[in-house]
Structure 1
Amino acid sequence: MSFATGSHPTAQSHTMTDMVQEATMERILQEITAVGCRLEGLDTAITSLTAEIKSMRLDIAGFQSRVTGLEQQVTTMEDHINTAQDRDQELLYHCSKLIDLEDRSRRDNVCFFGFPEYIEEMRLAQGRL
Structure 2
Amino acid sequence: MDRILQEMLAVGRRLEGMDSMMASLTEETKSIRLDIAGLQLRVTALEQRVTTVETQATLAPDIDHHKLLYLPSKVIDLADRSRRDNVCFLGFPETMEGAAVQFFLKTTLPQLTGLTFDPPWSFKERTDLVLNAETETTTHDQL
Residue matched to 2:9: 40
The answer on 1:67 being equivalent to 2:68 is no
Residue matched to 2:19: 50
Task: Work out the CA distance in 2 between the residues paired with 1:60 and 1:93.
Answer: 50
Normalising by structure 1, report the TM-score.
0.52
Percent of aligned positions that are identical? 11
Task: Work out the CA distance in 1 between the residues paired with 2:13 and 2:40.
Answer: 40
Residue matched to 2:90: none
Task: Work out the CA distance in 2 between the residues paired with 1:91 and 1:34.
Answer: 82
Task: Work out the CA distance in 1 between the residues paired with 2:17 and 2:10.
Answer: 11
Counterpart of 2:35 in structure 1: which amino acid? Answer: R
Gaps of 5+ in 1: 1-31, 109-129
What is the aligned length? 75
User: Which of these residues, 86, 91, 99, is aligned with residue 60 of structure 2?
Assistant: 91
Bigger Rg, structure 1 or 2 = 1
The structure richer in helix per residue is 1
Shift of 1:101: 3.8
Normalising by structure 2, report the TM-score.
0.47
